[in-house]
Chains A and B, each alone.
Chain A
Amino acid sequence: MKKQLLIVTASACLTLAGCATTGGNVDLKQVGKVFGSAYDSVRSYSPEEEEEIGSRVMADLLGAAPLVRDPALQRYVNQVGHWIALQSDKPGLTWRFGVTNDPHVNSFAAPSGYILITKGLFDLLKTEAELATVLAHEITHVTKGHHVRAMKATARGGLVTGLAKVGAQASGKQGADLAANAFSGGTEIFTRGFDKQDEYDADVGGMVLAARAGYNPYALPSVLNTLSNINPKDDAVALLFQTHPKTNDRLDKIDASIGTKLEPYAGGVENTPSFARFSKAKK
């Protein structure tokens, strides 16, 4: 852990003019200021940095809602998710999937192969193909690096503070408040959401990916129809709707981009006995 933190410090400092880490004396204000303006030139993160960012934002999300204490369910979702991820262009990431004990309807992804789906959303799904397309949507956010783009957008906000704090802890100074505080920069993405275009990208890319894994890709429009039936004022969908384009716009994009192109794969797997075992959806 300490090693990874040091890597982040080192790379943050690479972008700083005159970043003096000797003796651990990092001027936090300076780090934030310079890093913020230099940030746009940072095109991507190293795998170690992605893992550090991913594990930190996951720690925050799981701090808000822990995993469901059902190893069989967690293993099942990992089997489905990992199989789909193997069809992506980043099959070798350390893919980790989890169902959180949370009645809100949502799913989350973080760099380095972290995917969460809330129990609230899982329980609304009617088939394994629906689960597959939701996971494939999130996997696509990871493989296309949408987080990096979103972090750029928030570079002058929370992320800078977040990384500066990491740096402070690694240098052994002023890190006392870190453990208790949310990694505000990373989690900012989950409350602000991705760019609309990235969501459409994840819908279309997710359907293609689910089809590559042998599922009926048209299960995604079914999920979106289920979501559009929920009272938009319901707290369960407040964050989801706030961070995603309108459901009808998403369906329009899917229609315009995919239309009938994936129909040869519509006969793919719809459901499995495993899903039936864990599913609560009655309809």
Chain B
Amino acid sequence: MMLKTLPIALMFTAAAALAEPGSVARNTELKDKPFLDAKTTAKLAAGSPVDIINRQGAWIQLKTREGQTGWAKLLNIRSSNTSQGVSILGAVTKVASVAKTGSSGNTVTTGVKGLSEEQIRNAKANPEEVERMYEYSVSETDARKYASQNKLVAQKIADIAVK
């Protein structure tokens, strides 16, 4: 059983392995394992920079600038923007007057087709794609089958109010 599941577990751990800069959002404890009752190995002060190594459940594995590795509560650690952050499509360029749509002087030009504000506003309805969406949908039976194949078990949990 252990041998069978181990390679998959390793694969996913590797897939989730990170090395991103972060910082401590509020004073928190560094634990040697991702459990509340695990041994506390250090106190982390709010604002301290850390390197995020991994995530597991409600915990985050990190390395302090002093070189200490351990686990802290995920919600107490935030990713920190590097100077500019990751680039995906490149920065938005505002063009003073764009003749192509004539809709506003605030047109965003990207050259990329997709769901920018301007592109949504100027979209031509495509009902065939809505029909296709329906064709791709799955039945309740299919959904339940998928869940049981992937060991997804429904849990009874009360609502939580937003504070």
- A64 on interface, CB distance cutoff 8 Å: yes
Q: Per-residue 0/1 for B48-88: is the Cβ within 8 Å of any A Cβ (1 yes, 0 no)?
A: 00000001111100000000000001111011011011111
- B8 on interface, CB distance cutoff 8 Å: yes
Enumerate chain A residues within 8 angstroms of B36, measured Cβ to Cβ: 263
Distance A182 CA – B87 CA, assembled complex (angstroms) = 30
Contact assessment for A235 and B116 in the assembled complex, using a CB-CB cutoff below 8 Å? yes
**In the assembled complex, how far is the CB of residue A92 from the closest CB belonging to chain B, in whole angstroms?**
9
Q: Which of B57, B110, B144 makes the CB contact (< 8 A) with A218?
A: B57
- A67 on interface, CB distance cutoff 8 Å: yes
Enumerate chain A residues within 8 angstroms of B142, measured Cβ to Cβ: 78-79, 82
- B98 on interface, CB distance cutoff 8 Å: no
Enumerate chain B residues within 8 angstroms of A114, measured Cβ to Cβ: 133
- B89 on interface, CB distance cutoff 8 Å: yes
The answer to whether A263 and B57 touch (CB under 8 A), given A257-B163, A271-B15, is yes
Q: Per-residue 0/1 for A91-105: is the Cβ within 8 Å of any B Cβ (1 yes, 0 no)?
A: 100111110111111
Enumerate chain B residues within 8 angstroms of A98, measured Cβ to Cβ: 133, 136
Closest to A282 in B: B15
Enumerate chain A residues within 8 angstroms of B154, measured Cβ to Cβ: 86-87, 212-214
Among A65, A98, A187, A226, the one with the most B-chain Cβ atoms within 10 Å of its Cβ is A65
Q: Which of A63, A197, A212, A260 makes the CB contact (< 8 A) with B155?
A: A212
- A6 on interface, CB distance cutoff 8 Å: no
Q: How many of A's residues come within 8 Å of B, CB to CB?
A: 109
Q: Per-residue 0/1 for B141-163: is the Cβ within 8 Å of any A Cβ (1 yes, 0 no)?
A: 01110110011111111011111
Contact assessment for B116 and A212 in the assembled complex, using a CB-CB cutoff below 8 Å? no
Contact assessment for B121 and A182 in the assembled complex, using a CB-CB cutoff below 8 Å? yes
Among A106, A187, A234, the one with the most B-chain Cβ atoms within 10 Å of its Cβ is A234
Distance A266 CA – B127 CA, assembled complex (angstroms) = 40
- A222 on interface, CB distance cutoff 8 Å: yes
Contact assessment for A62 and B75 in the assembled complex, using a CB-CB cutoff below 8 Å? no
Contact assessment for A61 and B138 in the assembled complex, using a CB-CB cutoff below 8 Å? no
How many A-B residue pairs lie within 8 Å, measured between CB atoms? Answer: 288
Enumerate chain A residues within 8 angstroms of B86, measured Cβ to Cβ: 229-231, 234
**In the assembled complex, how far is the CB of residue A101 from the closest CB belonging to chain B, in whole angstroms?**
8
User: What are 16 of the A-B contact pairs (CB < 8 Å)?
Assistant: A61-B120, A63-B126, A64-B114, A64-B119, A66-B129, A78-B137, A82-B137, A100-B115, A102-B113, A190-B120, A191-B121, A214-B153, A231-B85, A233-B92, A239-B117, A259-B75
Binding site for A on B (CB under 8 A): 8, 11-12, 15-18, 20, 22, 25, 36, 55-59, 73-76, 78-79, 81-82, 84-92, 108, 110, 112-117, 119-127, 129-130, 132-134, 136-140, 142-144, 146-147, 150-157, 159-163
Given contacts A64-B115, A67-B129, 20 further A-B contacts (CB under 8 A): A63-B129, A65-B114, A82-B143, A102-B114, A103-B89, A127-B15, A181-B125, A201-B162, A212-B157, A230-B86, A231-B86, A234-B88, A238-B92, A239-B115, A239-B120, A251-B75, A253-B162, A255-B25, A255-B75, A274-B146
Binding site for B on A (CB under 8 A): 55-56, 58-67, 71, 74-75, 78-80, 82-83, 86-87, 91, 94-98, 100-106, 108, 114, 118, 120, 126-128, 179-184, 187, 190-191, 197, 200-201, 204-205, 207-208, 211-216, 218, 221-222, 225-226, 228-239, 242, 248, 251, 253-263, 265-274, 276, 279, 281, 283
